[in-house]
Structure 1
């Protein structure tokens, strides 16, 4: 393996089946010069054992960054994972997102100083999320539209995100009405820029903490670049027991202040005021 030049941060919490499937997808990446840093928001022992087993079976450098379970503290553990990375470029996704075999290649291909990259996902139904097995991931079969439809995927324009490539990807990236934002499941940027805005605001719980980071990057002068039809991942379905209106409202208020005051940093990030 060549010297690594990219770091993949994957967030997880007590979701071993989904994390294992996600990790398998990184073993078949066309671009190999990367490390994985797992941002673990207080998972149980089973997650630690899964990660240890994976580390013993792969040449990919893997770090497990963990803190005790104190409820939904994803922003805090992501900041710890950012500090733990050892490269200049950070790709962020989640431990419930199976990535296509050119996922890292596309992030590396499109990265550019002065920009961050905004990718998307295709959300699978729960039954199909369970049906996908190791061999389906290693062979890339789970990104075959015919196979997915045979196993329950419904027709949708969104299905273009699964098999788009080449000129089709380029065109759809240009035409999509979806704004290019920092999306925690599929975005990337230079570590230097992320540190300048002081990482994630740790006051924020579920609901838009990733978008707020991107808004501070934009205020800093970093431009977003749309790659939602180039860097492809499948989002495995799950319950969201941590979702509540109180945290969403709180986060919306923080985001409004960030936009209105054009803030480029937070006093509640990696470095505390």
Structure 2
């Protein structure tokens, strides 16, 4: 692959909220990447001082720039802080992930290798139980042990049908990307596209809370004419377990209604996005 190492080729936007131990593991994962021409933009939905201090500490020792974008805690406002992070990003290409997803060392390289105009990339994650999530150390990330099934099994993980997601074979990954029945959708924990396309659809719909807000963005990208490419077996990250206290049936219904309107009316640019509240 041909990269300009003197230019930031991608901005990796990581969402977080008061999960400093998990965020630190994610940052160590990015410090192991096989490419170095990227920046991290942390979209912080109102975390406290512990997160701020940890980011300041990491900024001094990692191999890439970290931009910390923060707003005051006002409940689940992930879409708003993501829009602010998009505006703060400096690269033409954006990779989105979450502060609980540790990337394998070839994660960014996989996004680089598959990026294309008028296309967004759709990745997945490999879920770990809490017991294994807590065991993973910086050394395990540096040595990539936590992406090795033998190590995971030795530490309490039970192999299942989804374990093939951790394949290290480029041939098998390409085959699985092609034959998987899972649709290529915008998944906020592992997705990417050119920044101009995100701006063209006005970013995330800030009216939406937790539940389908990522997919709604993808649906507007489809309405704009983009296609989606499956990379769930190529761009690998492990998902660290956590509780979800912000889930609500009422919010899910509202979000589903917004998504239905987006589909039925072929909405491209949300009226409640970057240009409405985030400037």
TM-score (norm 1): 0.99
Residue in 1 that maps onto 2:123: 119
2:176 alignment counterpart:
172
For 2:53 and 2:180, locate their aligned partners in 1 and report how far apart those are by CA, in whole Å.
41
Match of 1:155 among 149, 159, 175: 159
Q: Which one of 82, 89, 94 corresponds to residue 90 of structure 1?
A: 94
- Of 138, 145, 166 in structure 2, the residue corresponding to residue 141 of structure 1 is 145
Secondary structure of 1:87's match?
A: coil
Q: Out of 104, 109, 113, which is 1:109 matched to?
A: 113
Taking the aligned partners of 2:226 and 2:169, their CA distance within structure 1 comes to: 26
User: What is the CA-CA distance between 1:58 and the residue it aligns to?
Assistant: 1.7
Shift of 1:2: 2.2
Unaligned 5+ segments in structure 1 are: none
SS at match of 2:274: coil
1:79 corresponds in structure 2 to 83
Q: Could you tell me how far apart the structure 2 residues matched to 1:159 and 1:214 are?
A: 26
| Secondary structure of the structure 2 residue equivalent to 1:48 | helix
Q: Which residue does the alignment assign to 2:28? A: 24
User: For this pair of structures, how many residues does the alignment match?
Assistant: 273
Alignment of 1:46 onto 2:50:
yes
Question: 1:229: which partner in 2?
Answer: 233
Equivalent pair of 2:8/2:91 in contact (CA under 8 Å): yes
Structure 2: runs of 5+ lacking an equivalent: none
Q: 1:193 aligns with which of 180, 190, 197?
A: 197
Deviation at 1:154, TM superposition (A): 1.2
Q: Contact 2:33–2:107 at 8 Å: present in 1 too?
A: yes
> For residues 239 and 164 of structure 1, what CA distance do their matches in structure 2 show?
30
Q: Deviations over 1:200-242 (max 9, x none)?
A: 0000000010000000000000000000000000000000001
> Residues 186-207 of structure 1: CA distance to partner in whole angstroms, max 9, x if unpaired?
0000000000000000000000
